[in-house]
A = this chain, B = another copy of it.
Amino acid sequence: MKDRAIPEATIGRLPVYLRVLVEMAEEGVATMSSGALASAAGVNSAKVRKDLSYLGSYGTRGVGYDVAYLIHQVRRELGLTQHWPVLIAGIGNLGHALANYRGFARRGFQVAALVDASPDRVGEAVAGLPVEHVDELPAIVAREGIAIGVVCTPASAAQEVTDRMVAAGIRSILNFSSAVVSVPEDVSLREVDLSLDLQILAYYEQRKAALESVGSGGGRALTPVP
């Protein structure tokens, strides 16, 4: 291990390792080698070792890593030893689904409040929580100690609701709306586009189809490509 700077790429993989480790712990596995963890996480073992070495030297040569201890260390590094109250804005289809999603709570993210701009939805109960009006944001953030805001509104409302979140003191925002929004420099923002990976799959699918038609019917026969 070295200094305090963990590469971004590693941070992005820690949640994956954590999921595997927790699963293994539940199955009673006490110890795991980098190779085993790698194949369960879908990466290679050198990467696992390098990633984990940024957290410290928590492995045992000739044996592997203690699963329970490593879970603790990864959680600590990611900041998952504390609870993070989350607010969801925009209770449409997706907001609904996320409010009910078990995976959040399981990882320490408690959905603590829901807001929407439509008076029709305000008052409705979703996932055991009342939908409140977006005008209440500052009060809700203070009341629940909201740390992270999740934007599930239509694209047209995304920037406005983001601005309101920032004004209410939220400094980490996860944006599911398909609109690019901007935030002040001290606010963390991540954009998730549900159709992005579908588009990437389409690219590779098209590519496969192109290769095949060359190989079979199309032009001259060619060596099939990896």
Binding site for B on A (CB under 8 A): 11-12, 14-16, 18-20, 40-42, 77-80, 82, 84, 86, 93-94, 96-98, 100-101, 103-104, 107-109, 147-148, 150, 171-174, 178, 180, 182, 186, 188, 190-208
Contacts and interface: CB of A to CB of B under 8 A. Distances in A.
A26 to B, nearest CB: 11
A198 B109 contact: yes
Nearest to A147: B205
Given A15-B199, A190-B197, A40 B109 contact: no
16 contacts: A19-B193, A79-B205, A79-B207, A80-B202, A82-B206, A84-B198, A93-B100, A94-B101, A107-B198, A108-B202, A150-B198, A171-B205, A172-B202, A172-B204, A173-B201, A174-B198
A185 to B, nearest CB: 8
A162 B193 CA distance: 22
Copy number of this protein in the oligomer? 2
A41 B180 contact: yes
Contact of A202 (B78, B186, B197, B204): B78
Nearest to A109: B198
B84 A203 contact: no
A40 B181 CA distance: 9
A174 B202 contact: no
Given A20-B180, A93-B97, A188-B205, A198 B147 contact: no
A109 B195 contact: yes
B204 A188 contact: yes
A111 to B, nearest CB: 11
